């Protein structure tokens, strides 16, 4: 069980994290509002309230990316304040090791990381999907914003289907594609796909377990085309999976990523982007704990010795370096230069080792 000192330091650090989160969120809110005003406000007849609503939908997904900075900056602010008031000096003079109040703070950051992955991530993914839909709805009448072609792919052990559409419509959880072409392949004895037939449809609506096609023209190699009003084609996708194929890995909730990986590989696509995102989310709690330890390591220098502000500034700079290192490692993994596991976990492990090393040097000499 934690003692009074540990609880006091932990509560102070959490207040610092909350303060850093409030400041970063306010800055993000302002920047996103201005950006959306320039993108949407000048192209569509929308008011400030609609743009503000779009901003609120977008902000959680950005905050999730910057949460490690909240733990670093908030932790540095909290520990520096305790140091300047000589509270940390009094604790250490009384024989309390720095590890005694730093480890509970790191454990608290780890638990908050679990909550962020399990709770905040699905919420931000859902709000981000809503943001994309509302933004597209506001921009649909703008002539300069032409719809992009849509490509989907589904498959199982025997069949592969490539789906091309000129537009999509998502209402109340129903996915409808317009101007649809379906290219159907069947796997031969060697497991290689062979083209069998092509379907052209004016509209395709995804129903549980199948696509419902309207105004269909079916063409088979060597035969004349056949027309029909409606036709049903088996589907391995559901509404969420179909929309996830149109979204980036960052827009898919943590709990849906294993299913997205399975469906993507089943359809014959590479799932490296989804696998990298899944590993990065798994490493998030460790990254939060590492940032908490780094914050303490850069803030324990005695104030009377001077240089505390410079050391704290170095901690902030290291945080930005870790951010770019994380992005760089992800880019290398997507290019198949380094393993996905290494790219996802390296930033958290490096930050943790750096913090522990600096703490050992500061505390034990």
Q: What is the set of domains in the chain, with CATH numbers?
A: 4-140+272-364 (no CATH), 157-235 (2.60.450.10)
Encode pLDDT of 255-297 as tens digits.
888 887 777 776 566 677 888 888 989 999 999 999 888 888 8
Encode pLDDT of 298-353 as tens digits.
777 655 555 556 666 776 777 778 878 888 888 888 777 888 888 889 888 988 88
What is the mean pLDDT of the segment spanning 169-179? 70
- What separation, in Å, do the N-terminal and C-terminal C-alpha atoms of the chain show? 28
Check residue 340 and give its pLDDT: 87
Edge to edge, the sheet with strand 210-220 lists 150-155, 159-171, 174-187, 193-207, 210-220, 226-234
261, 277 contact by CB (below 8 A): no
Q: Is 92 exposed, middle or buried (0-12, 13-18, 19+ CB in 10 A)?
A: middle
Q: What DSSP letter does each residue of 100-133 carry, written as one string?
A: HHHHHHHHHHHHHHHHIIIIIHHHHHHHHHHHHH
48, 34 contact by CB (below 8 A): no
pLDDT band of 1, cuts 50, 70, 90:
very low
- Which residue shows structure tokens 């990316």? 65
pTM of the model: 0.72
For residues 155 and 333, the model is more confident at 333
pLDDT band of 210, cuts 50, 70, 90:
confident
Check residue 54 and give its pLDDT: 83
Check residue 145 and give its pLDDT: 45
Encode pLDDT of 98-145 as tens digits.
777 788 888 889 999 999 998 888 888 888 877 877 776 666 544 344
pLDDT band of 230, cuts 50, 70, 90:
confident
pLDDT band of 224, cuts 50, 70, 90:
low
Q: Is 182 exposed, middle or buried (0-12, 13-18, 19+ CB in 10 A)?
A: buried
């Amino acid at each position: 069980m934690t003692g009074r000192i540990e609880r006091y330091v932990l509560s102070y650090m959490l207040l610092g994290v909350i303060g850093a989160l409030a400041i970063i969120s306010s800055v993000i809110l302002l920047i996103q509002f201005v950006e959306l005003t320039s993108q949407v406000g000048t192209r569509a007849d929308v008011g400030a309230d609609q743009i503000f609503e779009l901003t609120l939908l977008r902000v959680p997904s950005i905050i999730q990316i910057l949460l490690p900075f909240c733990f670093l900056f908030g932790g540095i602010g909290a520990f520096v304040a305790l140091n300047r008031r000589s509270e940390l000096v009094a604790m250490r003079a009384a024989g309390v090791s720095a590890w005694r109040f730093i480890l509970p703070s790191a454990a608290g950051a780890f638990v908050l990381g679990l909550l962020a992955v399990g709770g905040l991530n699905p919420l931000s993914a859902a709000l981000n999907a809503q943001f994309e839909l509302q933004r597209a709805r506001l921009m649909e009448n703008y002539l300069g914003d032409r719809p992009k072609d849509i490509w989907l792919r589904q498959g199982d052990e025997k069949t592969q289907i490539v789906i091309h559409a000129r537009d999509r419509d998502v209402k109340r959880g129903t996915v409808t594609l317009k101007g649809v072409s379906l290219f159907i392949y069947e796997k031969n004895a060697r497991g290689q796909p062979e083209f069998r037939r092509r379907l052209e449809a004016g509209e395709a609506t995804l129903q549980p377990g199948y696509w419902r096609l309207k105004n269909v023209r079916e063409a088979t190699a060597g035969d004349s085309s056949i027309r029909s009003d409606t036709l049903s084609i088996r589907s391995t996708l559901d509404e969420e999976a179909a929309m996830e194929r149109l979204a980036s890995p960052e827009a898919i909730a943590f709990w849906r990523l294993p299913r997205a990986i399975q469906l993507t590989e089943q359809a014959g696509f590479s799932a490296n982007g989804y696998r990298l995102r899944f590993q990065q989310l798994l490493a998030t709690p460790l990254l939060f704990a590492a940032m908490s330890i780094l914050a303490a390591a850069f803030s324990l220098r005695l104030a009377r010795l001077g240089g505390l502000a410079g050391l704290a500034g170095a901690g902030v700079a290291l945080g930005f370096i870790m951010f770019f290192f994380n992005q760089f490692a992800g880019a290398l993994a997507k290019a198949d230069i380094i393993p996905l596991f290494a790219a996802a976990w390296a930033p958290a492990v490096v930050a943790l080792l750096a913090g522990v090393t600096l703490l050992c040097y500061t505390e034990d000499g």
